[in-house]
Amino acid sequence: MRQFLQGLGALLALMGVSGAIDHLWTQPILGIVLNAFNRLVVQNVAVLQESALLANLGLGACGIVLVIAVESLASSRQRD
């Protein structure tokens, strides 16, 4: 379960950074997968359209926080 959550966090971080790059420029590498949040969610939510760059960077930050939190919980359980 830990590896799944860490992989999900890493994917969210990559999607956030890729969406930010796509918003500023173009993203030719794995655009269908990595820009899914940017093209499916941000495009359809009016509040997120106003600050698309912030929404994508927020998604990336959430992914990084998820990876760190899972790693922190795993290391604290190993110490006990």
For the segment 3-12, what is each residue's pLDDT rounded down to a tens digit? 999 999 999 9
What are the extents of the domains in the chain? 2-79
The reported pTM is: 0.86
Helix, strand, coil shares of the chain, percent, nearest 5, are: 85, 0, 15
Which positions ≥6 away from 8 have C-beta within 8 Å? 63, 66
Which positions ≥6 away from 75 have C-beta within 8 Å? none
Eight-state DSSP code of residue 44? G
For the segment 26-45, what is each residue's pLDDT rounded down to a tens digit? 766 777 788 889 889 998 99
**In the chain, what percentage of residues exceed pLDDT 90?**
56
pLDDT at 78: 80
pLDDT at 77: 81
pLDDT at 32: 79
